[in-house]
Structure 1
Amino acid sequence: MASSRIISHSPPNLHRQSSPFDTVKPLPPQNLNLPPKRHRNLRIHTSLRSSSHSNNDLNDTVELRTNSVSAVSNDVVSKDPISLPRPLSSNQSSTAVSDGSRLRVAYQGVRGAYSESAAQKAYPNCEAVPCEQFDTAFEAVERWLVDRAVLPIENSLGGSIHRNYDLLLRHRLHIVGEVKYAVHHCLMANPGVKLENLKRVLSHPQALAQCENTLTGWGLVREAVDDTAGAAKHVALNNLQDAGAVASSAAAEIYGLNILAQDIQDDSDNITRFLVLAREPILPGIDRPFKTSIVFSLEEGPGILFKALAVFALRQINLSKIESRPLRKQPLRTSDDNSNRYFDYLFYVDFEASMADQNAQNALRHLKEFATFLRVLGSYPMDISMT
């Protein structure tokens, strides 16, 4: 497997920072006297960031490498478990953090990405750690390089982020919160470049789609790249005179670009929902609105999905999201008489109830009567800031 890469700014802290997502009862102490684990070789990039947003921020990186013990095995011997940072999902009030330590929160993209802003909304005093890929952010949490990851799961205009649904099942992280972030797209270009000088515009495919009517009206050719802030960085680094970028106002400030137009999205109600992921779950409560995310699979049969979802309707539990993904290890199933072939699916469901609620527990017990597989991904406080 190719090594993953993470951009980081300083060594991980051993202390935690509280957040609205963590104000719940603490988990019991965890026994860390485990046999040494083995981990994959990982490549880390550490950015040397100055206090000002100069162009030096764009290039100044230091590469650190961990040693690989075996080229055949996926793993290397881990740290002494006693020296590992303690789990960071136990309850602490925000006033309890007085030593200035900061939580390290991974996000996908480069500085100025909307995901960075979402991470800072979730944990206002965190150290946001950019990662090149979604997979890298998951691995960073699992391997104690960061304390949390904040990753997009759906957008009100673009729909679901399917890659992250698949990664939720592949990795053993827990959802401990959600963040809803309002996206405001800006058209930006290098200093001295005007709108009439532009021939093309770079951004993430979803951002370009969300601004399609506006960009078409300006006659600009759309070019897709990996992320919005990355587009701004590319335009600035290469001093492009015929190309602009669609990104956040924060990206324009960081990379020294001028904003030519603000709020250029075709629909003003452009909200991205992010999940907050951690190594340990939080203990759910009933003192405020909670949401629970699960994934399950079903046997094929008439009305089987209806029966599965009915366990929630019978108990007046609202479903806020349902997503189906192919069951990759067994994408097709043949009927008993070999006359038909069926697609096999995993169903991801969000429902508005806490696992501390007996009603929700009864619903899942009922669901197990139909499910061939069931996993609770997390039970966590709802973000009601947009309501």
Structure 2
Amino acid sequence: MALKCDGIVVVECGVLSSFELLGRRRRRDYLGGGLSFRKDVKRMGKWECCCGVLGQKAITPVEDDKPLKPLAYPNPNPFPNSNPAGVNQIKHIGFHKDLNSLPKPLTASVLSPSRKDGSKVRVAFQGVPGSYSEDAALKAYPNCETVPCDGFEAAFKAVELWLVDRAVIPIENTVGGSLHRNYDLLLRHRLHIVGEVQLDVNHCLMGLPGVRKEDLKRVLSHPQALDQCEGTLSKLGLVRISTDDTAGAAQMVASERARDTGAIASARSAAIYGLNIIEERIQDDDDNITRFMLLAREPLIPGIDRPYKTSVVFSLNEGPGVLFKALAVFALRDINLSKIESRPQKNRPLRIVDDSNKGSAKYFDYLFYIDFQASMADPQAQFALGHLQEFASFIRVLGCYPMDTSLN
């Protein structure tokens, strides 16, 4: 699997698609991919690559998996019955006849091991049918069977338990920033990133057929969607009510039949739940893009046939300028970093600088998530991670996958 010559290691494509790098210089094992780098002391700094599957449990510096509390929508009937006289009725565009026939969300605590027979890819997503996550799943796999889940944890577990083939998880938004909860879940679960999807978000204001802007008194949606449409909602003077997701808001408006209540959701939500789109693209920022991760049980074998991206998480040893040195391993090899995110370690949130004196200085101990634009089939990427090992106490490659350069 590896060729070695005078300080250069050449590894066959795909070997390092997913692995874990743990320990200090005395312990450098790639747990996930079955590879290990170790320092050849006798040869004074030359690296060798060897293969070997290690039967060793991975160590992840995150909190133990805890059972989740069931999610709940707000008051199921938060609006009074309203049917103002004089409203012009228009032809109904086709309300969903039976909401009970829609797929029921999976839960993290009750997951049935059964699955339908068929060759279609099954993709789990958080929310109900019509959510932006489902739009991302259909963009990645146009003919897939989408499976709604009641939370991100349930989507991760559905893949782990072989109930679905993939999960699509939002990771960051150009307006709202990173979804920190999902960064934590990436480290807690043993899944691999096998792709990314960039989705152009189109927030639509919708209501029952025949309802106009002037008829609305309140609007339902996810808190982030409400914040992203602050300008429009302020002009309309609408009362805002938060829900667990945007498509769930559309579902509630359709089921409650309150004509003075609207929802902010995707265009697909309006089609699914029989609502009319009153106005499209009501967000304050036109360039509103959400990036999603595609997760699978097995890593994707990387190649060099297209632009690839690699996601890594690591923690650093103590020392001056250690973060600068860690990031420099990529700059020295002309590898572009496209993302860096830091999260406090939950099992060791504070690091003591000097515990020999009372009142010693303490500061947060961080995990660093980075995305760099290179394939693990590229020897330069392998050398960069080998160099990073000099400064890191923990490294894990979350995935190597093709970059999504398109928007729809």
TM-score when normalising by structure 2:
0.73
> Which of 185, 194, 208 does residue 167 from structure 1 map onto?
185
Contact 2:267 2:277 in 1 (8 A): yes
Within a 5 Å distance, the mapping from 1:108-257 to structure 2 comes to 108-257=126-275
> What are the Cα deviations for residues 206-257 of structure 1, in whole angstroms up to 9, with x where unaligned?
1111111111111112222111100100111111222110001110111111
**Structure 2 equivalent of residue 7 of structure 1:** none
State which structure, 1 or 2, has the greater radius of gyration over its C-alpha atoms.
Answer: 2
Unaligned runs of 5+ in 2: 1-12, 18-65, 69-92
Contact 1:41 1:75 in 2 (8 A): no
Q: 1:65 to 1:197 in 2, by over 3 A?
A: closer
* Alpha-carbon distance in structure 1 between the residues aligned to 2:325 and 2:106: 51
Q: Secondary structure at the match of 2:142?
A: coil
Q: 2:365 aligned with 1:344, yes or no? A: yes
Q: 2:380 aligned with 1:359, yes or no? A: yes
**Structure 2 equivalent of residue 59 of structure 1:** 100
Q: 1:75 to 1:245 in 2, by over 3 A?
A: closer
> Which of 288, 297, 301 does residue 283 from structure 1 map onto?
301
Contact 1:293 1:348 in 2 (8 A): yes
| Structure number with higher relative contact order (C-alpha < 8 Å, ≥ 6 residues apart) | 2
Q: 2:393 aligned with 1:372, yes or no? A: yes
Letter in 1 for 2:237: G
Pairwise CA distance, 1:198: 1.1
Q: 1:41 to 1:209 in 2, by over 3 A?
A: closer
Pairwise CA distance, 1:299: 2.1
> What are the Cα deviations for residues 308-340 of structure 1, in whole angstroms up to 9, with x where unaligned?
111111111110001111100010111124420
* Alpha-carbon distance in structure 2 between the residues aligned to 1:189 and 1:113: 16
Contact 1:324 1:347 in 2 (8 A): yes
* Alpha-carbon distance in structure 2 between the residues aligned to 1:265 and 1:57: 31
Pairwise CA distance, 1:60: 3.2
Contact 2:249 2:264 in 1 (8 A): yes
* Alpha-carbon distance in structure 2 between the residues aligned to 1:373 and 1:253: 47
State the percentage of identical aligned residues.
Answer: 66
Contact 1:182 1:271 in 2 (8 A): yes
Pairwise CA distance, 1:349: 0.3
Superposition RMSD in Å: 3.1
Contact 2:303 2:377 in 1 (8 A): yes
Q: Secondary structure at the match of 1:380?
A: strand
Q: 1:56 to 1:363 in 2, by over 3 A?
A: same
Q: 2:294 aligned with 1:273, yes or no? A: no
* Alpha-carbon distance in structure 2 between the residues aligned to 1:137 and 1:227: 15
Letter in 1 for 2:313: V
* Alpha-carbon distance in structure 2 between the residues aligned to 1:226 and 1:75: 20
Instruction: Point out the more displaced range, 350-359 or 258-267.
Output: 258-267
* Alpha-carbon distance in structure 2 between the residues aligned to 1:344 and 1:63: 40
